[in-house]
Structure 1
Amino acid sequence: MARSTFKVLFYVNGSKEKNGIVPIMGRVTINGTVAQFSCKRTIPKELWDAKGNKAKGKSMEARETNLALDNIKAQIIKHYQRISDREAYVMAEMVRNAYQGLGGEYETLLGAFDKENEVFKKRVGKDRGRATYMARVRARNHVAAFIRS
């Protein structure tokens, strides 16, 4: 099995600077695939250590920022581990999406049917008909019977 390269890096986006404040961005790199994301944090430009990929100094703001970045990195590592256990090939975008809550876990066919039918049921009487809803419920039940058999 080939070794996987995995790296998490933080940097500031100098092009979005406003009044000396810059947003902190993150980058996940896995086997040459790159995915970038916003850390939803800002910092004064003079507090950022580009070589260390963190806030410099011991001020309260620097400590809070570094703690938040450490937490983000830990979450990304956790998502990477979980995905690499489940998937044969992991891409940076998959890890970023898992961190941001996009995509999701695997869903069963009947679970997806039930979820869609619940959404549909709320629209019955507004812009959907009751007969159509009942047809969808029957379709779900036929699929369930097929799975059982």
Structure 2
Amino acid sequence: MRSTFKLLYFVKRNAVKKNGNAPIIARITIDQVVAQFNTKLEINPAHWSVKLGKASGRTAEAVHINSMPESIHSTVPQQD
């Protein structure tokens, strides 16, 4: 039996803080079992690409934010 694994990042737009930023949430799905956790990262929702699941642009903030989920993704064990 083959198992499924997905890792998705999204901005929790309904939890925008006073500074205008919203938290970035990670969702892991394994065989239709879902777990979510806060990545402790924040971004202005206008700078988030929903389609790509990462920050848009080449600003220092976008590069930093995009590098953090990639490091989280690399620490999750991958199954062949």
TM-score normalised by length of structure 1: 0.50
In the other structure, the counterpart of 1:15 is 14
Partner-residue secondary structure (3-state), 1:34: strand
C-alpha distance after superposition, 1:100-121 (max 9, x if no partner):
xxxxxxxxxxxxxxxxxxxxxx
Partner-residue secondary structure (3-state), 1:73: helix
Extract structure 1 runs of 4+ deviating beyond 2 A.
none
- Identity over aligned residues, as a percent? 40
CA distance in 2, matches of 1:40, 1:20: 15
C-alpha distance after superposition, 1:38-86 (max 9, x if no partner):
000101111100110100011110000000010011112x2x55xxxxx
RMSD over aligned Cα, in angstroms? 1.1
Partner-residue secondary structure (3-state), 2:51: coil
Structure holding more strand per residue:
2
Amino acid at match of 2:24: I
Higher relative contact order (CA 8 A, sep 6+): 2
Between structure 1 and structure 2, the one with the greater Rg is: 1
In the other structure, the counterpart of 2:35 is 35
Structure 2 gap ranges (5+): none
Partner-residue secondary structure (3-state), 2:69: helix
Structure 1 gap ranges (5+): 82-149
1:67 equivalent to 2:67? Answer: yes
